[in-house]
Structure 1
Amino acid sequence: MNKIIYSFVLFFSLIQLSCKKDNRDSVAENQDLIKDAKTNTIIRPIPNEVLEKLDDSLKLYYAKLNNYEIWYNDENRTDLINEIKFCHKDGLNADDYEFDKIKELESKRDKMDDNEIIDYDILLTKNYRKIATHLYKGKLKPTQLYKDWDLIKKELPLSDSLANAIKNTRVSSSLKNLKPKDFMYKRIKRSLVLLEEFPDYHFNKIEVKDKIQLNDTTPIIVSIKKRLKYWKDYTKTDSIITPIYDSTTFVAVKRFQKRHGLKPDGVIGKGTVKALNFSKNERREQIIANLERWKWFPHDFGNEYILINLPDYSLNFVKDNDTIENHTVVVGKSTRRTPVLTSKISNLVFNPTWTVPPTIIKEDLTPSATKNRNYFDRNKISIFDKAGNIVSPEFWDPENSKSYRYVQSPSYNNSLGLVKFNFNNRHMVYLHDTNHRDYFSREYKALSSGCVRVENPLKLSETILKLNDEKWKKSEMDTIINRKNTKTIPIKNSINVFLLYWTNWSDGNQLVFREDIYDLDKKLYESLGN
C-alpha cells in the first residue's frame, strides 16, 4: 500500500508511474510521484541532475516546495499567464517574460512527456521570479542610473511569496500584493488607462514666436484649438475653427495650463507650447517611466512623513494617511540637482547661520567677491582661516578662496532664512526658509543650489514641534526667533522625509503632467527597453 505524503498543506496519495526517458533519467525513476488528492493532478519531483543546474535562487524556490514541480495546478498557471499578459498596465512588457513561448507551451502541455513538463515548469518559475521582482522593485536599479539618488534597497523573500501562493492557489493575489500600494501609483496607472482612450494621431509641431494673448488673431490658433480639442480641454463643437484667440479658447488654455503645472493665466508662451507639442506616444513613455520610478520608492511611508515631489515644487505633510498641510517649494537647478533620497528629520535650527558650501564658494562667492570685496559686508559673511581666526575682507586671498570658511550671520535675509530642517544625508542638503521669497510665485522653481526652500516654513516648524514630545507652542517659537540667537531643537518623534521625483498622475478623469525639470523621463524609458 502506498503511503500518504503530506505536502503543500494538501493530502497527496502516492502512485507509481513509469515515464519516458530522454538523455537524462526519467523524473519518476527511483523517486515518488505524488497526486493532489483535491484535483487528482500528478505532481512530479524535480530530478537531482536538473536541480543541480539551477541557480541558487531557483533552487530555493523549489526547495520551499520539497523539490516538486510548482505549476501542476491549472489555475495557478492561468493566473501567472494572465498577469504576464496584462503586465503593460503596470508599465511592463510581456515580451520580457517570454509570453509568446509560454502561451505556445501551455497549449501543448497535455501532450508533453514528464521531462518536457519539468522544463516548462522551470520556465514558468523563472518568469514568475522575474515579473515578481519587476513589480516589487522595478526592472532597473536607480543607483546604476543616478549617482545622486539614495533610496533604501528593497528586499523581499520572493520564494516564500511563491510557496504561499501555490499552496493557497493565489498566484494572482501574490503578484498584486507586490505592487506599490501608495495611492499615487494607482493614480499613475489610471493615467495610462485614460491616455489609451485618446486616438492615435500624428501631431505637427506648433511654433509660436511671440506670446499670444486673449483676442489676438493668428493662424497658429487653429492648430492650438485642434490640439486642445484632442486633449479634451477645448470642448466646444465648432463647424468652423477660426484663428481668433477667443474667450472659449482662453478658458481651455487655462485648463490645459493647470493640468501641466503651468501658471494658469491664459497667455500662450514657451511653456504652454512645449506642453502642447507632446504627442500621445511621448506621454505614454513618460507614464511608463513614472510607473518604473514608483516601484523604486518605499512601499510604506510611515504614519507621519514629509513628501516632496521635486518637479511639482510641492511639499505635503501627511499624518495617518491625511495631508494636514502643503507648501510650495523651490528645488535645485538642473546643474545643481536636488537629490532623490529618504531620511528622517533630526532637528530644527532657528536663526541659523549659513556656512557657504564648496560649490557656491567656487561658482558664486569667489567671482563676486573678487570683483567687489564689499560682497562680504553686504551679505553679512564672515571669513575664517584654517585656525578659526576672522580674516578682514581686504586681506582675503581670492587665489586661495577654498582655504577659508565663510559663515553668514543669522537674520531675516540670511540665505537660510529663519529656520532650517536637518535630516541625515550624504549630500549636505536640507529644507530651509530663504531670503528669495519671491521665487515661490514663479512658474519655474528649479532655482536653488540643491537644497529645498520652503514657503511658509514657520507653519511647517509649528506642525513638527506640535508632534514632538515637548509639544511646543507657537509663542515659544516666536520668542526664539525674536531673540535672533541660533537655537537647535532635536526632533525625538520619528518624522520621515522623502525627496522624490515624478512627473505624471491622474486627477479623477484628467491627465496631469509636470515639466521634467532634470530631463530624466525619456532616458529612463529608453533604459527600460520597452
Structure 2
Amino acid sequence: MYKETARNLAAGCLLLISFLTGASDEPLDEAIRQTLAQRSEACAPGLAASELAAPGLLHELYARQAFVALWQQPNRRTALKQALLQVADDGLDPADYPLDDRRAATSSLQQQACADLQASHSYLRALQHLAHGRLEQDSIEPFWRAPGSASPRPRPGVLELALNGLDRPSEAFAAARPALLQYQALRQAYAERRRGPIDEWPLIPAGHLLRPDSRDERIPLLAARLAAEGYLAARPATDAGLYDATLLAAVLDFQARHGLQADGLVGPQTLSALNTSARERLEQLQVNLERWRWLANDIEAETLLVDIAGGLLSYYVEQQLRWQGRAVVGRPSRQTPQLKSLVNRLTLNPTWSVPPTILREDKLPEIRRDPNYLARHQMRVLDRHGEPLDPTGIDWENPGNIILRQDAGPDNPLGRLAIRFPNPFSVYLHDTPSQQLFSKSPRAFSSGCVRIEGILELLAALLPADDCSEIAQRLDSGQTQEFPIRRRLPIVIAYWTAAVAATGELVLRNDLYERDRKLLFALREAGH
C-alpha cells in the first residue's frame, strides 16, 4: 500500500513538472529518456555519446526536469535562438551553438528527441563559454592560483543558471557573462566595431623616423591613416608633405590610445600600430574578451589587479576603481607570470637577494668584468645557509651555490618597500629608485617582478591611517622589517592587450609578449 502510494505521488510529481514546463508529449519525453539512458549513439554525429552520458550537465539538466522535452514551446525556442545570436557581441560564434529546427511533421520521434537534446546542449555550451571561456586557459596561457585564493563567494554554476533561465535564456546568458565593468565595457566596444563597416586603412611604408616639422612623401599617407579612424579632420592641401602641429596632435592621441610612448615620433612601433588592420584590431578585442572570461571568478570585489601589457596596477573596492598607478613589468625575455594570490606581508627597507636567473645571466658576468662590482653595489656574498663568505676566495668562473644579497638603502633595486604574496616564481610588487622608467611606454624592463610608481600612495589606499603611520616610522628607521597583512587582499596579475580606460577610451596595445596570435588561432581551431 505504501509503495503504491509512493508510486502515485511520484507519478503525480512528474505530471506536475510536465505541466509546469509546458511539456505534454509523453512519447517524446520517453524518447528523450531512452536516448539519455540507453541510446547514446542515436544523436551522432551532432551529439557525441559522451555528451549524453551520466554524470554530465546535459543528463543532469533533463534529470532535474523529469526528462521532459524542454524546447517544444515555440516561444521558449524562439527566445533561445535570439539569445544565441547575441553571443556574437561577446566575440563568440553563434554557429558553434546550433539548433535543429525540424518539426514533428517531417521528423521521426527519435529525430525530435535529438533536436531537443541538441538545443539543450547548445544552451549549456553557450552558458559554459560565457561563464568560463571558450577554451581551457591553462592549455593556452598558463595561470597559477595560490592554494586558498579561490573567491569565497563563487558565481552561480552553469547548471543553476540553465535551470533558472529556461524561459528567459537571454537573462541566463546575461547572468553567465562576467559582471566586471571591464568586460562589459570591452564587450560594448567590440559590439560597436563588429556591427560597423570593417574599413581598410592606408598602409604606411617603412622608412626613416618621421619627426614633427619634417617633410616626407609618406606624410599624406600618415594623415589619411589617422583621418580614416577619426584622429584627424581633413587637412588643407597647401602643404600636404609637412608634419605640422595638427598632425602632431593626432599622432600623440593615437600613441596614447595604443600604449605607445607619446612623443610624436613615428618609428617602428608606431608604424606597426598604424599598419595593424581594422580586422586585426577587432580580433584583438575578441581574444581579450576571452581572457576576461577566464578570470571572471578570480577578480573579487576587492582586488589588486596588475595589467601586464598595460603596465598598470589598479586597486578595486566593490568593483570600483579606488587607486591606479603605473607599473614596470618583465621584459619579453623574462616575462611577468600570470597568477592569483593573497597579499600576506610587506617588507620594509628590503634587502635584495639576487634571483638565480639574474645571478647567472646578469651579475656573474658583471663581477667577472669588474672586481669592485660587489663593493660598489653594497652586495654581500653568502653561502646557502646565509653565512657570509669572502668574495676574494670565490672562483667566479664556477662560484657554486652562493647567494648575492644587496643591503637596504637608496640604491637597492627594491626601493623602500616590497609587497609580498605566496607564489612559486619569486615575484612581488616593489618600489624602485629607477623612477624615470615609469614615464616610458610600454614599460617592460624588469626581470619578472612588478615595480610600482607611488607605492606609498597605494599603501594609503590599502591600509588604515594608523598602519600607514607605523609603517612610515619603521621605514625611517632604515631597518629591514616585516609588516603582516592580516586581512584578505587578493592580487591578480594578468595580461590584456585591449582595455577600456577609466576615461571611457578604448586602448589597443602592441602585443608585448606576442600571445594574441596564438590565442586567436586556438579560438578559430575550436570552432572547426
TM over 0.5: yes
Does the 8 Å CA contact 1:348/1:461 hold for their aligned counterparts? no
Q: Which of 490, 495, 498 lines up with 2:489 in the alignment?
A: 495
Does the 8 Å CA contact 2:345/2:483 hold for their aligned counterparts? yes
1:245-324 → structure 2 map (5 Å cutoff)? 245-299=243-297, 301-324=299-322
Shift of 1:107: 5.4
Shift of 1:150: 4.1
Are 1:45 and 2:39 matched, yes or no? no
CA distance in 2 between partners of 1:509 and 1:434 (Å): 30
Structure 1 residues 388 and 492, CA, compared in 2 at 3 Å: closer, same or farther? Answer: closer
CA distance in 2 between partners of 1:481 and 1:274 (Å): 45
Shift of 1:461: 2.5
Ranges in structure 2 where 5+ consecutive residues have no aligned partner: 1-7, 41-51
- Give the TM-score of the pair, scaled to structure 1: 0.86
Which residue identity does 1:141 align to in structure 2?
E
Are 1:135 and 2:130 matched, yes or no? yes
Does the 8 Å CA contact 2:459/2:468 hold for their aligned counterparts? no
Match of 2:46 in 1: none
Does the 8 Å CA contact 1:181/1:299 hold for their aligned counterparts? no
Does the 8 Å CA contact 2:211/2:266 hold for their aligned counterparts? yes
Ranges in structure 1 where 5+ consecutive residues have no aligned partner: 13-33
1:57-76 → structure 2 map (5 Å cutoff)? 57=56, 58-76=58-76
Q: How many residues align?
A: 494
Structure 1 residues 472 and 376, CA, compared in 2 at 3 Å: closer, same or farther? Answer: same
CA distance in 1 between partners of 2:170 and 2:323 (Å): 37
1:21-420 → structure 2 map (5 Å cutoff)? 36=19, 41-42=24-25, 44-47=28-31, 48-52=33-37, 53=40, 54-56=52-54, 57=56, 58-98=58-98, 102=99, 105-106=100-101, 108-109=103-104, 111-147=106-142, 149-150=144-145, 157-166=157-166, 169-196=167-194, 199-203=197-201, 205-236=203-234, 242-299=240-297, 301-420=299-418
Does the 8 Å CA contact 2:261/2:442 hold for their aligned counterparts? no
CA distance in 2 between partners of 1:513 and 1:489 (Å): 38
Q: Secondary structure at the match of 2:29?
A: coil
Does the 8 Å CA contact 1:41/1:72 hold for their aligned counterparts? no
CA distance in 1 between partners of 2:485 and 2:291 (Å): 30
Q: CA RMSD in A?
A: 2.6
CA distance in 2 between partners of 1:124 and 1:163 (Å): 14
CA distance in 2 between partners of 1:450 and 1:6 (Å): 64
Which residue identity does 2:125 align to in structure 1?
K
CA distance in 2 between partners of 1:172 and 1:483 (Å): 59
Structure 1 residues 378 and 112, CA, compared in 2 at 3 Å: closer, same or farther? Answer: same
Shift of 1:341: 1.1
Which residue identity does 2:512 align to in structure 1?
I
- Give the TM-score of the pair, scaled to structure 2: 0.87
Match of 1:26 in 2: none
Structure 1 residues 426 and 387, CA, compared in 2 at 3 Å: closer, same or farther? Answer: closer
Structure 1 residues 239 and 501, CA, compared in 2 at 3 Å: closer, same or farther? Answer: same
Which residue identity does 2:191 align to in structure 1?
V
The percentage of aligned residue pairs carrying the same residue is 28
Greater alpha carbon shift after TM alignment, 43-52 vs 263-272: 43-52
Q: Which of 470, 477, 490 lines up with 2:471 in the alignment?
A: 477
Does the 8 Å CA contact 2:79/2:169 hold for their aligned counterparts? yes
Q: Secondary structure at the match of 1:524?
A: helix
CA distance in 2 between partners of 1:227 and 1:114 (Å): 59
CA distance in 1 between partners of 2:483 and 2:334 (Å): 29
CA distance in 2 between partners of 1:72 and 1:242 (Å): 65
Structure 1 residues 161 and 484, CA, compared in 2 at 3 Å: closer, same or farther? Answer: same
Structure 1 residues 216 and 438, CA, compared in 2 at 3 Å: closer, same or farther? Answer: same
Does the 8 Å CA contact 1:182/1:299 hold for their aligned counterparts? no
Shift of 1:303: 3.6
CA distance in 2 between partners of 1:345 and 1:387 (Å): 27
| Post-superposition CA distance 1:82-104 (Å, at most 9, x none) | 22223221111122223xxx2xx
Shift of 1:174: 1.0
CA distance in 1 between partners of 2:369 and 2:245 (Å): 51
CA distance in 1 between partners of 2:456 and 2:504 (Å): 36
Structure 1 residues 462 and 85, CA, compared in 2 at 3 Å: closer, same or farther? Answer: closer
Structure 1 residues 184 and 45, CA, compared in 2 at 3 Å: closer, same or farther? Answer: same
Does the 8 Å CA contact 2:304/2:492 hold for their aligned counterparts? yes
Q: Secondary structure at the match of 1:79?
A: helix
Shift of 1:319: 2.0
Which residue identity does 1:491 align to in structure 2?
I
Structure 1 residues 184 and 519, CA, compared in 2 at 3 Å: closer, same or farther? Answer: same
Which residue identity does 2:496 align to in structure 1?
W
| Post-superposition CA distance 1:395-438 (Å, at most 9, x none) | 12224334112211111211211000001112111000113222
Structure 1 residues 39 and 237, CA, compared in 2 at 3 Å: closer, same or farther? Answer: farther
Structure 1 residues 109 and 340, CA, compared in 2 at 3 Å: closer, same or farther? Answer: farther
Q: Which of 497, 511, 518 lines up with 1:516 in the alignment?
A: 511
Shift of 1:301: 3.0
CA distance in 2 between partners of 1:161 and 1:461 (Å): 39
Which residue identity does 2:131 align to in structure 1?
Y
Structure 1 residues 299 and 240, CA, compared in 2 at 3 Å: closer, same or farther? Answer: farther
